[in-house]
Structure 1
Amino acid sequence: MATIRSARENETETLREIGLRAWEKAMLNVGEMAGIRDNARMAFDTFTRQAWLTITVIEQGGILAGWAAREALDELISDFWIDPPFQHQGLGSALLSAVEADIVRQGFDSARIETHARNDEAVSFFEKHGYRIHWLSAAYSPKLDREIQSVGLTKVLVEDEVETYGPGL
């Protein structure tokens, strides 16, 4: 059974390794990973140590299987990583649902996420869960020290209520 909870400070090394493994798998389609792996490891290490309070984890059988973060505690899901051995078991869907519920509880109407434009598996996963692509761009990533093509996806979580006068039709 999966358990979803807040991250603990003593889990940052494990979170770093999960993020790195999931990132490496995602980058297989992109190529040229060897030159930036050390930068990615350092970025995951720094992020998990500094932002662990913004991380939600999912465990399977008491083992950390993935995590998501909302770095600014707003509607942007800044990180979303499922350890490759735990992928395609419904854990990503469960974690995403929990994070979206937190976003709504905190008063936001939509959720956003950004990923590498050629991360087809992630784009497909989020589209399957109701996200739609809103933009595509290329920008320099200081964390990875290179230009990255990104795609931004958005999902409306709370529909605006239509106010009507008189009986509904």
Structure 2
Amino acid sequence: MITVRNAREADVPVLVEIGVRAWEQAVVGVADLQVRRDHARNAFQQFLTSRWLRVTVAEFDAQLAGWAAREGLDDEISDLWVEPSQQKKGLGSALLAAMEAEVVAAGFEAARLQTHARNVAAVGFFQKQGYAVNWLSVDYSQRLDRNIESVGLRRQLVEDEPVAYGPGGF
């Protein structure tokens, strides 16, 4: 059974390790894992230690199995990480739905996110959830110390109201 809840400070060590393992899976062929693993672990540790209140977790059978965050508390979902051994069980979908609900509750009509363009599994997952590619760029990644092709995805969450004039419209 999947349970989605707010993170607790005591969750941080487990969430760091989930993030590292999911990150390793996502960057295979893009980054030298031996060189970047410690850097990734430190980045997850710093983020989660200082911003755990902005994190939502998913548990599978009462065990932490994934987490997501909106770092800027805006319309961007900055993180979504699921333990590789627990993927394809609905955890990512549950976390994404929770993040989208937060985006709408904060007054935004669409959600956006990004990943590296070679992360075919993530891009496919988000497209299956209704996201469309909105942009493609090449940027320098400080975390990976190299240029990375990034893809931005966007999903409209709140439909625009039709414009009408007078009572009952046109």
The reply to whether TM is greater than 0.5 is yes
- 2:34 partner amino acid: A
Counterpart for residue 154 of structure 1: 154
Runs of 4+ in 1 over 4 A off after TM superposition: 166-169
Distance 1:31 1:148 in 2: 10
- 1:9 partner amino acid: E
Counterpart for residue 61 of structure 1: 61
- 1:17 partner amino acid: E
Counterpart for residue 35 of structure 2: 35
Counterpart for residue 112 of structure 1: 112
Distance 1:91 1:46 in 2: 24
TM-score normalized by the length of structure 1: 0.93
CA contact (8 A) 1:78 1:113 kept: yes
Counterpart for residue 140 of structure 1: 140
- Structure 2: any 5+ residue segments left out of the alignment? none
CA contact (8 A) 2:110 2:157 kept: yes
**In the alignment, structure 1 residue 163 sits paired with structure 2 residue 154:** no
Distance 2:117 2:110 in 1: 21
- 2:32 partner amino acid: E
Distance 2:24 2:132 in 1: 24
The percent of aligned pairs where both chains have the same amino acid is 54
- 2:6 partner amino acid: S
CA contact (8 A) 1:29 1:119 kept: no
- Superposition deviation, residue 167 in structure 1: 5.3
CA contact (8 A) 2:113 2:154 kept: yes
- Structure 1: any 5+ residue segments left out of the alignment? none
- Superposition deviation, residue 154 in structure 1: 0.5
- Superposition deviation, residue 168 in structure 1: 6.6
Distance 1:167 1:106 in 2: 30
- Superposition deviation, residue 31 in structure 1: 5.0
- Superposition deviation, residue 104 in structure 1: 0.5
CA contact (8 A) 1:113 1:152 kept: yes
